[in-house]
Structure formats: C-alpha cells, structure tokens
Amino acid sequence: MTHNTAPLLYLLQNTTMHRVLKYWAATLCIAALAAAKHTESFVVDTAASSLHWIGKKVTGQHDGYVKIKSGVLIMNHGTPVGGRFEIDMTTITCADIKDEKKNSDLVEHLKDDDFFSVKKFPTASLALTSISRIPESKPGEPNYQVSGNLTIKGITQPVQFPALFEIAPRQVKAAAKISIDRTKWNITYKSGTVFPSLADKAIYDNVEFEVFITANAPH
C-alpha cells in the first residue's frame, strides 16, 4: 500500500515558509521601531533665556531686550530637530539710554506703527523648520545651521542662521545671532534704502538679535 506524501510535503514546506515570513516581518518591524523618531519637547525656561536687540543708524546705535514669552525645542534622540518660540513685543526695552524721559520716548516709538505696531501685534514668533549639523565645527563655535520662519507684525519671512547648541540629557542651551532686513517686515521708518534722501539721518535696515535659550526636558 503506497501513500501519497505530496500533500504532507506541501504542508511542511508552506508551514516553514510561513514561519520564515513571520520571522522576517517581525525583524523588519523591530528595525522600523528602532529607527522611528522619538521626539521630546524641551520647554524653554523663560527666566533663563533672553533676546537682545541691536539697531544701528548712521550716527550711532541703540540696544535693548525683549522677553521670550514661551517656547519649546524639539529633540530627537539628543539632536535638535525643530522648535517654536513666542516673543512678547510689549516688553521691549532700551538698555543704552540713561535719561528716563528719552528712554521712555524711544521705547514708545518702537512700539508704535513706525516700527513694531505692538498694540496690533503684541506677539512675534519664530518657528524652526530645519536644523542640520555643521560638519567639523570647533568647540565654542556654532555647530548647527538653522532655518525657520520669523513672524513680525503678522508678516512671516524665512530666516537662516548658525547656532551653538550645548546638549545635555535633560537640558539644552542654544545661542545664536540672527540678522534681519527689517523692511521685509514692512518696518521702513527712516530706511536709507527706501528713503535715500535721509542721508546721515537714516536708520540702517539691518537689525540684529542675540538669542540665548535654555530649555529643559519634560518631567
């Protein structure tokens, strides 16, 4: 009496193949999970962070501070990948004018429609869209190139700048100098390029921001 072993062989072969497929599917799934992004939102410590502004004119310059209202820095396995910061424009100050009346006059002028229109736009923001490592950066020098969108007076324009990140497991510190052309945000008061006849009464279009951020990991 002979037995047809073909069905048995077919079953064994297909069972083995099924196990192999399940094994490789599980392996690929684990690999995918391992490679998946794990992001954390590090919260900005506003008391330990600062934004210093510098504006220059033909005959001199002024500088002061604006408070960072809130913000998060997005980290992925110890690497910065994004972030967003809100700036409270109502807190703008002048640091270089010692006379109280002249200081107050300048601050109020900066808040009015010639400059930042603070009553209409009390908040500015910076959203980081791309952060890439700078190859062979030296200690103490900027080690990341940052791209983002800066919104002032309701107008959003792209910005790019180098930044120095100091990264610890539970805290990140970042420092950057951001230079913008204010006329791109419709701040044209006494602009030498918009009003060439101003001569030595012109205010330069370039405005500089020195930003220092401390952000902490969530509890």
Question: 145 and 106, same structural domain?
Answer: yes
Residue type, 37: K
Question: 172 and 113, same structural domain?
Answer: yes
Distance CA 75, CA 77 (A): 6
Question: 112 and 23, same structural domain?
Answer: no
Residue-level pLDDT at 6: 54
Question: 46 and 27, same structural domain?
Answer: no
Do residues 207 and 188 make contact, with C-beta atoms less than 8 angstroms apart? no
Residue-level pLDDT at 12: 42
Question: 60 and 154, same structural domain?
Answer: yes
Question: 126 and 209, same structural domain?
Answer: yes
Say if residue 126 is exposed, middle or buried (CB neighbours under 10 Å; 0-12, 13-18, 19+). Answer: buried
Question: 111 and 11, same structural domain?
Answer: no
CA dihedral 94, 100, 106, 109 (to 10 degrees): 120
Backbone angles phi, psi at 107, to 5 degrees: -60, -45
Total domain count, the chain: 2
Question: 140 and 65, same structural domain?
Answer: yes
- Residue 62 in 3-state DSSP? strand
Distance CA 206, CA 68 (A): 21
Alpha helix stretches (DSSP H) within the chain: 6-35, 100-111
User: From first to last of its 219 residues, what are the pLDDT tens digits of the chain?
Assistant: 455 555 544 444 555 555 544 545 544 444 443 345 678 999 999 999 999 999 999 999 999 999 999 999 999 999 999 999 999 999 999 999 999 999 999 999 999 999 999 999 999 999 999 999 999 999 999 999 999 999 999 999 999 999 999 999 999 999 999 999 999 999 999 998 999 888 888 999 999 999 999 999 988
**Distances from the Cα of 187 to the Cα of 115, 140, 183, 194, angstroms:** 5, 34, 5, 10
Question: 100 and 16, same structural domain?
Answer: no
Domain that holds residue 113: 39-216
Residue type, 179: S
Question: 48 and 3, same structural domain?
Answer: no
What is the separation of C-alpha 47 from the centre of its chain, rounded to a whole number of angstroms?
18
Question: 197 and 104, same structural domain?
Answer: yes
Residue-level pLDDT at 5: 52
Residue-level pLDDT at 200: 83
Residue-level pLDDT at 105: 97
Q: Is the pTM of this model over 0.75?
A: yes
CATH of residue 147: 2.40.128.110
Distance CA 199, CA 197 (A): 5
Question: 20 and 49, same structural domain?
Answer: no
- DSSP string for residues in 151-212: EETTEEEEEEEEEEEEE-SSEEEEEEEEEEEGGGGT--TTBTTT-GGGGGG-EEEEEEEEEE
Residue-level pLDDT at 23: 45
Residue-level pLDDT at 198: 87
